């Protein structure tokens, strides 16, 4: 019987951590993710978990401690945001290249500077090529569900990679919503025990973690990482099917919202999808065939599946809550455009940068995007592909 509860997104992640009961959590506070280790430390102090909680002096140290503990054979977790994730940068690559399935809660926040504590996706998007699986969450329920599934995904024998579970800072991390929690025993049964094949404290096998890797083998090790990321796609789907059996909640690589017959659509990530769905509903009532594709899994990137879902669309807007400073578009736009190239060239694709630094994204902003898509379909003219919405020019 599911437990109905009212929790913020940060509380939901902390509760998921408690239910999983990891061996080690190492963390350093940074807004807006601070509450996650704060709540979890209370579970440690009152004996609800047997976790070794390691308060460190920086986020670099937090990831370093997680790497050491995971390499030793323990299941480890942490949480961070923005500049904290940036300070982990070196260690993110070491965790993934060392094939250590650390689980990280990333509460998305603008990456300074100028200093800004509010939401956009510049932090996790900047880490998109670090070798971490990335899951994104529209709401508190998805943040909770994704975090539980992340443990199974990262630890799978065909993957063995770290996983980053993202949600929007303040928008979901601090907003309280109703959600359904699993019972503790069901979560423990779902994630299972962590039994790594190779670990430092195994007295029957001598191994080195993170040694010097010269040209003789470095390329092959990178290729193995790439294959593990490719393998993760099917594992993510398999874990989602098992999760659906336990909870009744269905997850995929992405969500298609009124997309099957859509002529115009947007691709979007995280909480703004909720606003966009409302706009889609309103447009549908007017007879406009609008749809939406909400990314859940950004790494590995679901290229083939996305093309199949979008190939019938006439005009598409890709929404980026991060600026890539490329002069031609944001990070999500680059991947979507590349996915469509050569297989769905008939789709007219534009990019919008939106919501940077926590700028409010209103229904009017999303409606403007759909209006522009309608105009592109009507005139056949794309115009400028690299656009902004909600900014004072």
Q: What are phi and psi of 163, to 5 degrees?
A: -130, 135
pLDDT band at 108 (very low <50, low <70, confident <90, very high): very high
**Shared-domain flag, residues 239 and 284:** no
CATH number at residue 380: 3.40.50.920
Tally of domains within the chain: 2
Give the containing element (helix H, strand E) for 148: helix 140-155
User: Of 163, 120, 167, 138, which is closest to residue 330 (Cα–Cα)?
Assistant: 120
Q: What are phi and psi of 256, to 5 degrees?
A: -100, 120
Residue 266 pLDDT exceeds 90: yes
**Shared-domain flag, residues 43 and 172:** yes
pLDDT digits (tens, 9 = 90+) for 9-61: 999 999 999 999 999 999 999 999 999 999 999 999 999 999 999 999 999 99
User: Of 16, 8, 362, which is closest to residue 167 (Cα–Cα)?
Assistant: 8
- Whether 256 and 309 have beta carbons less than 8 Å apart is answered as yes
Residues 261-294: b if buried by 16+ CB within 10 A, e if exposed: ebebbbbbbbbbbebbbebbeebeeeebbbbbbb
**Shared-domain flag, residues 227 and 264:** no
Higher pLDDT pick, 81 / 210: 81
Is residue 336 in some structural domain?
yes
pLDDT digits (tens, 9 = 90+) for 268-316: 999 999 999 999 999 999 999 999 999 999 999 999 999 999 999 999 9
User: Of 247, 306, 273, 309, which is closest to residue 171 (Cα–Cα)?
Assistant: 273
Residue 261 pLDDT exceeds 80: yes
pLDDT band at 2 (very low <50, low <70, confident <90, very high): confident
**Shared-domain flag, residues 214 and 334:** no
Determine the distance from the C-alpha atom of residue 145 to the mean position of all C-alpha atoms in its chain, rounded to a whole number. 12
CA distance 370 to 37: 40
User: Of 337, 308, 310, 306, which is closest to residue 324 (Cα–Cα)?
Assistant: 337
Is residue 344 in some structural domain?
yes
Is residue 310 in some structural domain?
yes
Non-local (6+) Cβ contacts of 327 within 8 A are 386
Boundary (domain end) residue, out of 224, 247, 270: 247
Expressed as residue numbers, the domain containing 349 is: 254-388
**Shared-domain flag, residues 176 and 203:** yes
State the chain's mean pLDDT as an integer. 97
Residue 62 pLDDT exceeds 90: yes
Is residue 393 in some structural domain?
no
**Shared-domain flag, residues 85 and 136:** yes
**Does residue 87 sit in helix, strand or coil?**
helix
The DSSP code sequence of 19-86 is HH--SEEEE---TTTTHHHHHHHHHHHTTS---EEEE-SSHHHHHHHHHHHHHHT--EEEEE-HHHHH
Boundary (domain end) residue, out of 195, 230, 247: 247
Boundary (domain end) residue, out of 198, 226, 247: 247
**Shared-domain flag, residues 319 and 360:** yes
**Shared-domain flag, residues 223 and 265:** no
**Shared-domain flag, residues 284 and 320:** yes
Q: What is the DSSP letter of 294?
A: E
Is residue 88 in some structural domain?
yes
Is residue 62 in some structural domain?
yes
**Shared-domain flag, residues 243 and 265:** no
Is residue 49 in some structural domain?
yes
Q: Give the residue-averaged pLDDT of 309-325.
A: 97
pLDDT digits (tens, 9 = 90+) for 337-384: 999 999 999 999 999 999 999 999 999 999 999 999 999 999 999 999
Residue 324 pLDDT exceeds 80: yes
Is residue 364 in some structural domain?
yes
CATH number at residue 171: 3.40.50.970
Q: Looking at residue 113, what is its pLDDT?
A: 86
**Shared-domain flag, residues 108 and 231:** yes
Place of tokens 């094949």: 197
- Distances in Å between the Cα of 362 and the Cα atoms of 17, 211, 275, 276, 338 are 33, 50, 7, 9, 29
**Shared-domain flag, residues 296 and 320:** yes
């Amino acid at each position: 019987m599911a437990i109905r509860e009212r929790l913020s997104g940060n509380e939901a992640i902390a509760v998921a951590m408690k239910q999983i009961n990891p061996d080690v959590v190492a963390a350093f506070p940074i807004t807006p993710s601070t509450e996650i280790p704060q709540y979890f430390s209370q579970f440690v102090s009152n004996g609800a978990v047997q976790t070794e909680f390691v308060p460190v002096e920086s986020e670099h140290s937090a990831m370093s401690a997680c790497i050491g503990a995971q390499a030793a054979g323990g299941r480890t977790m942490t949480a961070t945001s923005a500049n904290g994730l940036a300070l982990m940068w070196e260690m993110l690559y070491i965790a993934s290249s060392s094939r250590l399935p650390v689980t990280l809660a990333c509460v998305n926040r603008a990456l300074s500077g100028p200093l800004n504590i509010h939401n956009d996706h510049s932090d996790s998007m900047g880490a998109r090529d670090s070798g971490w699986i990335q899951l994104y969450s529209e709401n508190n329920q998805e943040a909770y569900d994704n975090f539980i599934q992340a443990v199974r995904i990262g630890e799978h024998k065909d993957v063995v990679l770290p996983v980053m579970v993202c949600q929007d800072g303040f928008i979901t991390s601090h907003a309280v919503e109703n959600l359904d929690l699993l019972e503790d025993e069901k979560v423990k049964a779902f994630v299972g025990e962590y039994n790594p094949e190779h670990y430092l404290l195994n007295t029957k096998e001598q191994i080195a973690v993170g040694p010097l890797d010269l040209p003789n083998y470095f390329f092959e090790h990178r290729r193995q990482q790439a294959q593990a990321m490719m393998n993760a796609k099917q594992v993510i789907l398999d874990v989602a099917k098992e999760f659906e059996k336990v909870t009744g909640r269905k997850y995929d690589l992405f969500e298609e919202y009124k997309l099957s017959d859509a002529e115009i659509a947007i691709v979007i990530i995280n909480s703004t999808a909720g606003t966009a769905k409302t706009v889609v509903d309103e447009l549908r009532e007017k007879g406009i065939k609008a749809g939406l594709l909400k990314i859940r899994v950004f790494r590995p990137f679901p290229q083939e599946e996305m093309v199949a879902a979008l190939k019938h669309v006439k005009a598409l807007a890709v929404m980026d809550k991060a600026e890539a400073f490329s002069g031609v578009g944001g990070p999500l736009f680059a991947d979507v455009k590349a996915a469509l190239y050569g297989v769905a060239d008939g789709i007219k694709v534009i990019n919008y940068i939106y919501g940077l630094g926590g700028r409010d994204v209103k229904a009017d902003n999303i409606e403007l995007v759909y209006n522009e898509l309608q105009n592109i379909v009507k005139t056949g003219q794309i115009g400028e592909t690299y656009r902004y919405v909600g900014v004072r020019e």
